[in-house]
Amino acid sequence: MSVIHLEELEKSYGDVKALSGLTLDVPSGSLFGLLGPNGAGKTTALRILCTLLEPDSGNVTVLGLDALKDPCEVRKKLGYVAQEVALDKILSGRELLQLQGDLYHLRSIERNARIAELIERLEMGSWIDRRCGTYSGGMRRRLDLAAGLLHQPQLLVLDEPTVGLDIESRGKIWQILRELRSQGTTVLLSSHYLEEVEALADRMAIIDDGRVIAQGTPGQLKQNLGGDRVTIRVREFSDEIESEQVRRVLESIEGVSQVVVNRSQGFSLNLVVEGEKVLPKLREELQKAQFELFALTQSRPSLDDVYLQVTGKTLMDAELETAGQRDTKLERKKTMR
Amino acid sequence: MISPDNAKLPETDFQSPMAELIQETLALTRRLFIQLIRRPSTLIAGILQPLIWLVLFGALFSNAPQGLLPGGVTYGKFLGAGVIVFTAFSGALNAGLPVMFDREFGFLNRLLVAPLQSRSSIVLSSVVYITSLSLLQSLAIIWTAALLGYGWPGVSGILLVAITLLLLIFAVTALSLALAFALPGHIELIAVIFVANLPLLFASTALAPLSFMPSWLGWLAALNPLTFAIEPIRAAYRGPVDLSTILFHAPYGDVNGYGCLTVLMVLTIGLFFLIRPILNRKLA
């Protein structure tokens, strides 16, 4: 049974299309990773699902409820940890949690018991009574996670929960998310960190240009790729022209597929090799074409390969591409109500 | 077979919607007061500014010829009512600022993602907070004015002062909250507050009676809501309250105490209806 069902979501901000036909199913009890570069539409999708934003068109079903018709019921059952943590600098962490508890209408005894429990669980005891303005990124994020968990939601949604965090806080948050899953809470998190999705998620979707382009378990997605991943360099630092020449050579070999020039890695070449005799053949052909083989690595497919396969670029390249074009001012505006 | 777990009532409480509304409104109001207590500069400035007005401006005309002002009062006494109203007015005009900062810093999203019984609690908490704050500041001014020898309105007078101020505060708070949701950022909101503040003071009867003004300014002052709040309070300071006495001679006719309060009431209700679409759009 799916806890979240997003169907054909469309959303534009002015001329900028954030979602174009996004469809997603999150099964109950899963720890679901939504992987994609910045600007792919992850945050917009999560904001729609958390009833903060209305799509231009499409259906949103959360926990069996129509989130567009019955947003208030959805809010009661859902915890949301936003990307930009908005804390009140003047309040202490404990006061913020008390406020949050009152907004979710917890009885004060229950509220205080929950707060005490979460302070211990997230190891916030030594600083929870200090003002939020003094907190580090990791503290802020832990506090925000506690706020999202206060009312014991059946579904927890986190937008990039560990961006820019110290190792310790990240580990703590990962641990809590795993515990939640084992207790039966469905967790949906977005991330542009492959390692995070790899380490945590039992199901995942890759999102690009406002659409889901692949979903399944990480294992399935990797298996679907088939073949081994091979990275080749003909020289320590090649240029694009040379790499393109090598690409043409490689593409002519039987058993080699998906040859991609990887710009972010000094124009090395990524390819997929199927069959045992392909590699010797490859060495031979390169020699014939008068290319040296400076380096060759071979590995089983990783999530990065999955990403490369479905989008035609590496996640890092996608990040670099969007980094220059992001209009942070506009993004801030569009999240303002 | 029924397991004991299923037999238990669900853990979620069944509070009445009213209890939930009160709980969330109190929690939000509490937050605003914690902010005020830990960052009291707003409160201090809000009291200090009108005090300076009262002391310096009151002294400015202290040697003016006797009998110049209607009723033969001293300028300090005349000014008191104006400064009280101005205090409440500028306090209420700032009501939108915390809301605007919550919008800008994303704190509002935290409120919007919560299952609030009604999002009016966001507006309601601001109204409760600003009303108590403005009343507190006005009270400080009333008390200081009494110490300076500018008079004391008496018990029934205080009641009239409170009612008048409440109406004005509600109206201005509504306006400010609407601006906080309609304007793009705090810079714009502060600009509007800045531009609205002093001209509204000057184009009212706070600093001088209508009879001193050229007719164009007299028209403006006689249409200015501040005038309708100042005159009843000034009357309360003059002596026993009688709302049927004429309080000022506007170019369009005489206005008595009932007239002033009615105008303020209509303004308040009208503004709340006017801002509803804005709030509904932003908080829907």
| Residue A41: pLDDT over 50 | yes
- Per mean pLDDT, which range of A205-214, B4-13, B230-239 is the poorest? B4-13
Exposure class string for A240-276: b at 16+ Cβ within 10 A, else e: eeebeebbebbeebeebebbbbbbeeebbbbbbbeee
Residue B51 has pLDDT above 80, yes or no: yes
Residues in chain A: 337
* Residue-by-residue DSSP string for B226-240: HHHHHHHHHHHHHSS
Q: Quote the pLDDT of residue B1.
A: 36
pLDDT at A144 over 60: yes
- Which residues of chain A are within 8 Å of residue B184 when distances are taken between CB atoms? 333
Residues A228, A271: Cα–Cα separation, whole Å: 8
Interface residue B103 vs chain A (CB under 8 A): yes
Is the CB of A105 less than 8 angstroms away from the CB of B106? no
Interface of A with B (CB under 8 A): 50-52, 72-73, 75-76, 78, 80, 82, 84, 86-88, 90-91, 95, 98-100, 102-107, 110, 131, 147, 333, 335-337
pLDDT cut 90: percent of chain B above it: 56
Q: Does B111 touch chain A (CB under 8 A)?
A: yes
Higher pLDDT, B226 or A258: B226
What value of ipTM does the predicted structure carry? Answer: 0.85
Identify residue B217 by its one-letter amino acid code.
L
Pair A98, A114: CB distance under 8 Å: no
State phi, psi for A174 to the nearest 5 degrees. Answer: -60, -45
CA atoms within 13 A on the CB side of A303: 27
**B107-155, pLDDT tens digit by residue?**
999 999 999 998 889 999 999 999 999 888 888 889 888 888 888 888 8
Cβ neighbours for B111, distance < 8 A, ≥ 6 positions apart: A103, B28, B102, B119, B122
Helix (H/G/I), strand (E/B), else coil: A44: helix
Buried b (16+ CB within 10 A) or exposed e, A194-232: bebbbebbebbbbbbbbbbebbeebeebbeebebbbbeb
Q: Bridge-partner residues for A203, per DSSP?
A: A32
Q: Are B106 and A335 in contact (CB under 8 A)?
A: yes
Confidence of residue A221 (pLDDT cuts 50, 70, 90): confident
CA distance B139 to B113: 38
Helix residue ranges, H only, B9-118: 17-38, 41-52, 58-60, 75-93, 96-105, 107-112
Q: What angle do CA B104, B109, B114 make, to 5 degrees?
A: 155
Chain B residues with CB inside 8 Å of A107's CB?
13
Least confident piece of the model among A97-111, A128-142, A257-271, B178-192: A257-271
Q: What is the mean pLDDT of chain A?
A: 87
Tell me what the mean pLDDT of segment A95-99 comes to: 96
Cβ of A100 within 8 Å of Cβ of B31? The answer is no
pLDDT at position B30 = 96
In this prediction, residue A77 has a pLDDT band, given cuts at 50, 70 and 90, of very high
How many other C-beta atoms are found inside a 10 Å radius of the C-beta of residue A294?
A: 13
pLDDT tens-digit series, residues A112-136: 999 999 999 999 999 999 999 999 9
Domain segments of chain B as ranges: 20-283
Question: A219: which 2 tokens?
Answer: 């294992």
In this prediction, residues A32-44 reach a mean pLDDT of 88
What is the per-residue pLDDT for B10? 44
Distance from CA of A126 to the nearest CA of B (A): 21
Quote the pLDDT of residue A233.
Answer: 86
Asked if A90 and B104 come within 8 Å (Cβ–Cβ), the reply is: no
The number of residues in chain B equals 284
B8 touches chain A (CB under 8 A): no
Closest approach of B148 to chain A, Cα-based (Å): 37
Mutation choice for A interface testing from B36, B110, B112 by most A CBs within 10 A: B110
The partner residue sitting opposite B31, judged by closest CB among A51, A76, A99, is A99
Average pLDDT, chain B: 88
Q: pLDDT category, A317, cuts 50, 70, 90?
A: confident
What is the pLDDT, as a whole number, of residue A281?
86
- Residue of chain B nearest A73, judged by CA positions: B115
Rounded Cα distance, A252 and A228, in Å: 18
The full set of domain ranges for chain A reads: 2-214, 227-300
Half-sphere exposure of A337 (CA within 13 A, CB side): 23
Instruction: Report the pLDDT value the prediction gives residue B3, as an integer from 0 to 100.
Output: 38
Question: Is B39 part of the contact surface with chain A (CB cutoff 8 Å)?
Answer: yes
Q: Do domains A2-214 and A227-300 have the same CATH topology?
A: no
> pLDDT by residue (tens digit) across B171-199?
999 999 999 999 999 999 999 999 988 89
Fold of the A227-300 domain: Alpha-Beta Plaits (3.30.70)
User: CB–CB of B31 and A333 under 8 A?
Assistant: no
What pLDDT band is residue B69 in, cutting at 50, 70 and 90? confident
Torsion from C-alpha of A138, A142, A143, A147, nearest 10 degrees:
150
Per DSSP bridges, beta strands B253-256 and A228-233 are: unpaired
Q: Which residues of B touch A52 (CB under 8 A)?
A: 109, 112-113
- CB-based contact, B270 to chain A, within 8 Å: no
CATH of domain A2-214: 3.40.50.300
Answer whether residue B6 shows pLDDT above 70: no
The answer to whether residues A41 and A210 touch, using CB atoms and an 8 Å cutoff, is yes
Nearest chain A Cα to B183, which residue? A337
Contacting residues of B for A86, CB less than 8 Å apart: 105-107, 109-110
Write down the pLDDT at residue A243. Answer: 86
pLDDT band of residue A290 (cuts 50, 70, 90) is confident
Strands annotated E in chain A: 2-13, 16-27, 31-35, 57-62, 65-66, 78-81, 155-159, 186-191, 203-208, 211-216, 228-233, 256-262, 268-273, 295-299
Dihedral of the CA atoms A175, A181, A183, A185 (nearest 10)? 120
B27 in reach of chain A (CB within 8 A): yes
- R_g of chain A, CA atoms, integer Å: 23
The reply to whether B21 touches chain A by the CB within 8 Å rule is no
Q: What is the crossing angle of helices A137-149 and A93-103, to 10°?
A: 30
Burial class (CB in 10 A: 0-12, 13-18, 19+), A149: buried
* Token pair in block for residue B233: 């309070």
Q: pLDDT tier at A270 (50, 70, 90 boundaries)?
A: confident
B280–chain A Cβ distance below 8 A for any pair: no
Q: Enumerate the residues of chain A whose CB falls inside 8 A of the CB of residue B115.
A: 72-73, 75-76, 103-105
